[in-house]
Amino acid sequence: MDPTDILQLSLVVPVFNEAATVDLFLARISAVFANEPQIMLDIVFVNDGSTDATLALLLERQKTDPRVRIVDLSRNFGKEAALTAGLQAATGQVVVPIDVDLQDPPEVILQMVERWREGYEVVLGRRVNRDSDSWAKQVSANWFYRLHNKIAEQRLPENVGDFRLMDRCVVDALDSLPESRRFMKGLFAWVGFRTAYVDYVRPARVAGETKFNGWRLWNFALEGITSFSTEPLRIWTYLGAFVSLISFAFATFIILRAIIHGIDVPGYASLMVAVTFLGGLQLIGIGVLGEYLGRTYIESKRRPVFLVRRVYNAKD
């Protein structure tokens, strides 16, 4: 593409109770792109069932900013569904998902565009540090990436979130994927395409509060692992074989001891330990099976990922 050509760029911005950050975000976006006449900007806000003044504020800002489009979902479906809705609504030649809290600096988008002009179809924003995150979140994130990349066929790039630039062909490929339980980081990695990186320092949130607590992050990690790996199922095959081997060896030991030293009556403590240990393993194994069976059950219903209440365009 000729660098002088007009580039249609769509920002996909999922929002849930973000009234405190919307104005700050729009002001920053306007400042970044004020001197970029070769970029035609389209800002797609996806209101994910907000219960505060987010939607009303967006509608008010749309009156003075024709770049703003609003996809209002019928309820809160979660960020993955809101992101999916935004990607389907985006019409730009390139699309950039970005959080409204400005932890992903909009200035980095211009660097991404430069890499895209070099021929890359995906440009990932990679955090060079996580100092803005708590110690627990940093440790859990590192643990998740290492575990996922060890057991999953498709590796996830470390310290990379949803913030990235994607060519239209990549977005079309993502929109064509049929699953209803969508772990977007995994889907982004799965579709592939020519990829480059842009490093940046992740600042603290400008306002408001994060919607991801420890429990939601745990479930998010579990969703990612079960979406792109069957290793948790295979592990229980090997674990069952190992426990059976230990049990067989222990039974052989008891028989030989009884033959050599006579029959004795083992204590109840060892019996209870064995029963509870094996029972716990069985329950964990059933739980792992349940995770995969639950995903199959939900996918078999073929329900849509989200429902749109209304789309607000600037001309409405």
pTM of the model: 0.69
Residue 15 structure tokens: 């929002």
pLDDT averaged over 10-residue windows placed end to end, the chain, 316 residues:
74 89 89 86 90 89 89 88 89 90 88 90 84 60 64 71 88 85 79 87 65 55 58 65 68 68 58 66 71 70 82 76
The whole-angstrom separation of Cα 1 and Cα 33 is 20
Predicted pLDDT at 312: 87
Identify the bridge partners of residue 73 per DSSP, sorted by sequence position. Answer: 308
What per-residue confidence (pLDDT) applies to 202? 79
pLDDT of residue 300: 72
Classify the C-alpha dihedral 86-92-97-98 as positive or negative: negative
Q: What is the pLDDT of residue 14?
A: 92
Tokens 């409204």 belong to: 100
Distance CA 239, CA 275 (A): 16
**Residues 96, 84: Cα–Cα separation, whole Å:** 12
Which residue is listed with tokens 């996909």?
12
How far apart are alpha carbons 89 and 47 in whole angstroms? 13
How many CA atoms lie less than 13 Å away from 297 in the CB half-sphere?
Answer: 6
pLDDT score of 72? 92
Give the closest residue to 14 by CA, choosing from 80, 113, 102.
80
pLDDT at 286: 74
pLDDT for the residue numbered 123: 92
pLDDT reported for residue 155: 72
Coil/strand/helix, residue 129: coil
